[in-house]
Amino acid sequence: MVAEGGAQDASFVAAARCAPRARKEHHMAQRVQGTEDLFGGYMRAWQHMQDVARDLFGAYGFDMVETPAIEQVDTFVHGIGESTDVVRKEMFRIVSGALFENLLEQGSEAGLKPKQRLAMRPEGTAGVVRAAVENNMVPQGAAPAKLWYAEAMFRGERPQKGRLRQFHQVGVEWLGAADPAADAECIIMLMEYYKRLGFDPSRLRLSINSMGDAACRPAYREKVRQFILDHADEMCEDCLERAEINPLRSFDCKNDHCREVMRDAPLAKDNLCDDCAEHYAQVKRYLDAAGVSYVEDPTLVRGLDYYTRTVFEVEAVDGGVGAIGGGGRYDGLMELEGGKPTPGIGFAVGFERIALALAAQGGSLETPQPGCVYVAGTSADEREAVFSATLALRQAGVRTEADYQGRSLKSQFKQADKLGARVCVVIGPDEVAANAVTLRDMETHEQTQVPVEALVPAVSARLAR
């Protein structure tokens, strides 16, 4: 805005007159597009999702795990698949500061060692499986490892409603169980999770499919590739590319016409080997026995390459945000990450989409702010007595607030109301002289004096009422 030499042009003067000074001089820090700050009720909603998960998944025998937010690129390339959009287009790649300089100079990452090629995790499964291999969590013959996580994930997608670049998932990974009962239990637990979060189960759509395994999928893939090539003149450029690298993704093409054409393509369920067909049938029998409703969607292929056999996805019918969760079996993934052949299954749900979908159903994940006790002093002379009373209550585990801004008693009561305090401890010169405090019930405004020694039990008794 300031022209060279310091002269100000007319438009600058006009702008300066109506704009606050702050606009000219302050750099207003902004969050990255497609990221969100979690605080207040939204933060409590995220914590609530974790609390419900801890209770429910705990009952199914899952323990919490946390893996690093950064992994070597190869962990994702091997696990999620080189040809997936997640790996090709959406992964946030990072290098440390000094290497970044080199990279800029050389203009290529060719000189980087695999250890130096890092990425922010776009999903949780590959990292958890990498951790299971590295820490030998599923030794031969041992019980399965059952792990759950609540973590931020990072995908460089175009931000829109329910699609963020940093989002949060609650997920589970069950490593070492090949039994179709594990697939069914995962799905049953997932549907119970939505119910406990407040969803109306009749307004959720669970879709399932089987994608076959190493024995039958290659031949099926080839059939789909051939189908796409046979219909090349009707398909988009992306699908023609997919035919060679990942033909099954064409079932999910964003182009309506391609999806229309793909309706006649060979379906996985008609191309399963006997073992996969039996596994799928058994999963459905278990789901039926548990009374879980589902729709079979033979075009459900998911966007990650590690899946084998069972895959599933959940949508809120009136949510308008796409899938609120998904998962499946990945019997080959442990080997892809360098471990012994070990079956696995899991799912993940997206916090932000769940919050949106639940709101669309008229529900909410938010839990009320916990109530508190407020300690009010009538003047600065009582500051020390207020300080001690506040400390005593907090040490007894009571959520306690006090004034730190020298407000009047009236504004302290207002503040106490705002914070949802049920009881106020009031301390004035009389109380200090009598070594006592006054307890004020914030609803009835009834006041009682109690000796200082009786503060904690008297407040606790009132809160328990």
Query: Where on the chain is the footprint of ligand HAM (CB under 6 A)?
Result: 123-125, 155, 157, 162-164, 167, 169, 171, 173, 303-304, 323-328, 346-350, 352-353
Residues 6+ apart with CB under 8 A from 320: 161, 162, 356, 357, 360
| Closest to 46 measured CA to CA, from 131, 151, 201, 174 | 151
Answer yes or no: are the C-beta atoms of 345 and 339 closer than 8 Å: no
Which segments of 285-372 are extended strands (E)?
Answer: 295-296, 308-316, 323-329, 344-350
Minimum distance of ligand HAM from residue 24's CB (angstroms): 36
Which position's Cβ is nearest ligand HAM? 350
- Taking each helix axis from N to C terminus, what angle separates 237-245 and 217-230, rounded to the nearest 10 degrees? 150
Which C-beta is closer to ligand HAM: that of 35 or that of 226? 35
Which C-beta is closer to ligand HAM: that of 212 or that of 350? 350
Rounded distance, CA 362 to CA 387, Å? 43
Q: How many CB atoms within 10 Å of residue 151?
A: 19
Which C-beta is closer to ligand HAM: that of 354 or that of 458? 354
Minimum distance of ligand HAM from residue 65's CB (angstroms): 12
Which C-beta is closer to ligand HAM: that of 173 or that of 192? 173
CA 314 to the chain's CA centroid: 15
Max alpha carbon distance in the chain (Å)?
Answer: 94
Minimum distance of ligand HAM from residue 100's CB (angstroms): 25
Minimum distance of ligand HAM from residue 323's CB (angstroms): 4
Minimum distance of ligand HAM from residue 458's CB (angstroms): 48
Minimum distance of ligand HAM from residue 153's CB (angstroms): 7
Minimum distance of ligand HAM from residue 90's CB (angstroms): 8
Answer yes or no: are the C-beta atoms of 286 and 217 closer than 8 Å: no
Which C-beta is closer to ligand HAM: that of 258 or that of 316? 316
Give how far Cα 93 sits from Cα of 10, 78, 154, Å. Answer: 45, 15, 10
Half-sphere exposure of 351 (CA within 13 A, CB side): 28
Which C-beta is closer to ligand HAM: that of 163 or that of 203? 163
Which C-beta is closer to ligand HAM: that of 175 or that of 276? 175
